[in-house]
Amino acid sequence: MKDPDVVRSRLDAGHELFKARMAAEKGEPFTGWRHDVLLDHEINYKHKALADGRHALELNRWASWKPGDGRILRRLRAACAPSVSGNLLTHRYGGPNPLQVADTAAIRGLETAAFEFMTGDKDIGERFDDFAEYLREHHLGSDWRFVSYLAFLATNGAVFTVPPSKFDALVQYYGIDERIAGRVEWTRYKVLEDLAEALRRFLVSYGDADPIQLQSYMWVVASQIDKTPEPPATTPFEVDFEEELRGRLNAAAKRERNGLRGEQFVLEQEQSLLRTAGRDDLAARVRLSARDHPNCGYDVTSFQLDGRERHIEVKTTGDETTAERGFWLSENERRVGEADPLWEVVRVRNIESSARSESLGNVVWALPDGWALSPSSWFVGAT
């Protein structure tokens, strides 16, 4: 953190934001952790999710189950269901990507890794990192919300859940020169744990707070942080066009770089999946179609296990926050999707840190719930 005076001022300012939020709904000042607004909006549902999630997991039975028979995976899916986990997980794209595995080898590997994570004898930090690394190595998507939610259940609430972008803003507000969003690892979680301990000491006059109460406090402060931009300067309007050009070229290069990295990620993932399924012959035929045919309307040609082609249009973003805003589809891609039954969109998120992918299917034919396809530009030319 910064010097003690700055830290103290940030703690005081954050607490003022928190108290204002607590008083806003019912007009009751915050005097302790039993405050109605905090209980109703934050604490009670987390305790319910913890109890329901641990009940759904049936951890006491895992030792008698054989990894690979699917029972551990079914219990994980039950614990991650929206009706159990509530808003502690993101369900917009159909639930955590790692739980969508289907072939026997992948199920066995995931169940073995999950067993060690949820019931192992190692320190929780080691188990956390081991599980996150397994997800990365097997291209399953090492996601902060998913891994921290399972750690929350495994430790009976001692580890709290992590919304990374929200908590990134929080640590910056408190003057901590660290970043949470990105690679899922215990050292980053420890930044939040240390902040929670500092807040626990700061708030001791309200009683000794537990991890769920502290996470709830941190979430409220993060939600209340003033994001109003600074007022515009009154100096005359000037533009350094050389600097502007460099900025635009750098931004364009970054988009192209991330796009190509996403295509590489999907191509290699498709090859790996086919090899794992025993189809080395098909894996050898996966190719980057856009390299030889830039206007074909998709990026990667892959295959179903029965040999049918898949025409994959890859849409890549650098982080989760940008991914939530949707993606651009060219008119050529839309027309190909409309006419080609083999065409689909694969979404790659977090390509700059812990990449994960998910097929959205043919979004021209059928969009995911809550999504819309809208025209984005017009061509002006001679008739």
374 within some domain: no
Which residues partner with 356 through β-bridges? 349
What single DSSP character describes residue 205? G
243 within some domain: no
The domain boundary, picked from 202, 224, 246, lies at 224
Q: Are residues 22 and 151 in the same domain?
A: yes
Q: How far is CA 351 from CA 48, 265, 317, 323, 357, in A?
A: 34, 8, 6, 11, 9
Residue 376 burial (10 A CB sphere; 0-12, 13-18, 19+): exposed
Helices (H), 27-123: 36-38, 44-57, 71-79, 82-85, 104-119
Q: Are residues 118 and 22 in the same domain?
A: yes
Quick one: what percent of the chain has pLDDT higher than 70?
91
Helix (H) and strand (E) counts in the chain: 16, 5
pLDDT of residue 234: 44
pLDDT of residue 230: 41
Q: Are residues 72 and 217 in the same domain?
A: yes
The domain boundary, picked from 199, 224, 249, lies at 224
pLDDT of residue 1: 47
- Tens digit of pLDDT for each residue in 147-194? 999 999 999 999 999 999 889 999 989 888 888 988 899 999 999 999
Please say whether the dihedral angle defined by the alpha carbons of residues 101, 107, 109 and 115, taken in this order, is positive or negative.
Answer: positive
377 within some domain: no
pLDDT of residue 231: 41
Q: Are residues 262 and 189 in the same domain?
A: no
Q: Are residues 201 and 90 in the same domain?
A: yes
Min mean pLDDT across 1-10, 256-265, 359-368 is at 1-10
Q: Are residues 34 and 98 in the same domain?
A: yes
169 within some domain: yes
376 within some domain: no
Which residues partner with 346 through β-bridges? 314, 359
Which pair of tokens denotes residue 26? 């019912």
Residues 90 and 131: beta-carbon distance below 8 Å: no
Q: What is the DSSP string of 330-359?
A: -HHHHHHHHH-TTEEEEEEE-TTSS-EEEE
Per the model's pLDDT, the better-predicted residue between 378 and 232 turns out to be: 378
Q: Are residues 195 and 278 in the same domain?
A: no
Residue 195 structural domain: 4-224
pLDDT of residue 5: 61
Angle (nearest 5°) at CA 372 between 366 and 376? 120
The domain boundary, picked from 224, 246, 276, lies at 224
What's this model's pTM, rounded to 2 decimal places?
0.60
User: 7: pLDDT confidence band, cut at 50, 70 and 90?
Assistant: low
24 within some domain: yes
Strands 356-361 and 343-349: antiparallel
The b-or-e profile of 165-185 (16+ CB within 10 A means b, else e) is: ebbbbbbebbebeeebbbbbb
- Tens digit of pLDDT for each residue in 32-44? 999 999 999 999 9
Distance from C-alpha of 127 to C-alpha of 299, rounded to nearest angstrom: 37
Coil vs helix vs strand at 10: helix
Q: Are residues 171 and 268 in the same domain?
A: no
Sorted by sequence, the CB contacts under 8 Å of residue 304 that are 6+ apart come out as 310
Number of separate domains in the chain:
2
Which pair of tokens denotes residue 125? 């930090």
Strands 343-349 and 309-316: parallel
Q: Are residues 159 and 294 in the same domain?
A: no
Min mean pLDDT across 67-76, 84-93, 259-268, 269-278 is at 84-93
Q: Is the pLDDT of residue 97 over 80?
A: no
User: 324: pLDDT confidence band, cut at 50, 70 and 90?
Assistant: low
Mean predicted lDDT score pLDDT of the chain: 88
338 within some domain: yes
Q: Are residues 129 and 214 in the same domain?
A: yes
Q: Are residues 53 and 159 in the same domain?
A: yes
Helices (H), 225-362: 241-276, 280-283, 289-292, 320-323, 331-339
The kind and range of the H/E element at 300 are strand 300-303
Residues 154 and 118: beta-carbon distance below 8 Å: yes
- Tens digit of pLDDT for each residue in 108-148? 999 999 999 999 999 999 999 999 999 989 888 888 999 99
Residues 308 and 320: beta-carbon distance below 8 Å: no
50 within some domain: yes
Q: Are residues 350 and 202 in the same domain?
A: no
- Tens digit of pLDDT for each residue in 343-356? 999 999 888 778 88
